[in-house]
Structure 1
């Protein structure tokens, strides 16, 4: 089963990355965690995202398209980073997330969402 593991943004992540001893230690811990995921054969992809102040959104309404610049609020409803994992089930994904270093300096949240598989859409076995 493929899952997207979503690191939710915080007020800190929306300020952008600042080099500090604390942030560098966090990056080192996350790097080690990513190595564990690779060794286990789970990690397919992943990365951090720049703050929403550097992003854009395009709204669709029929044929109309409207673009707007960030930042987008509230911070906790935005995405700061992601992984794509291949796991046997949601329990395995939860188990791995619980091993993850806290991705933020303060309280944070990680969401796990399964990806659609072809069989979900066609009714055929994968």
Structure 2
């Protein structure tokens, strides 16, 4: 029966961690975003995040977006720099039409840093992207 289950490959959906200026608090903040680079809307986007290492695990954070329009992005969470010493995973589940998709995006420990910045699709900013 397991062989009959089709798990489609996720393409065009990314998670990025961006270092950006916060005008309110006058600080440089790291924020995680989900990016929909597809030409179709994503429905019921569920994001479950946590950080972990051999000795530590963070609490689990959950976020739901009713809709993520085509060619758009949404902020997931503010990330404290102390978390970058851990593996940070983002489990994303969404519907495209009537089909469910799921993918885990993993930022390995110490890979989120200023030296690893690259151009983030759609956002026109620099960040660390997992595709």
TM tier, smaller: 0.3 to 0.5
Larger % of helix: which? 1
| Superposition TM-score, scaled by structure 1 size | 0.32
Larger Rg: 1
| Superposition TM-score, scaled by structure 2 size | 0.31
Structure with the larger RCO, 1 or 2 (CA within 8 Å, 6+ apart): 1
Larger % of strand: which? 2
